[in-house]
Amino acid sequence: PDFVFQYLPFENEAYSPYIGKYRTFGLRVLLSQNGLEKEVMLLPDVSSDFSFVLHLAGLLTRKQLDPIHLLDVFEDSL
């Protein structure tokens, strides 16, 4: 293909009135095309488990999931 989606984990801080501040990990989706990279989606607070988000990022990158289906994947996994 002439383009590639790359899913990368990123860390951020979130707040809940019940537990206070906590560390969470999200997914950043990049579109690489013609030597250029463009961020196409940022999904914060996917999980507090870095290993899970890292594994998910690798899987989604390998399978080249189009980001338009990403929310469906999360919805189906609940």
Residue 56 contacts by C-beta under 8 Å, 6 or more apart in sequence?
Answer: 7, 27, 46
pTM of the model: 0.87
pLDDT of residue 73: 85
Q: What would the two tokens of residue 1 be?
A: 């293909």
pLDDT of residue 74: 79
Asked if residue 78 has pLDDT above 70, the reply is no
> What's the mean pLDDT in 37-61?
95
Q: For residue 8, which amino acid is it?
A: L
Asked if residue 1 has pLDDT above 80, the reply is no
Asked if residue 4 has pLDDT above 80, the reply is yes
pLDDT of residue 14: 92
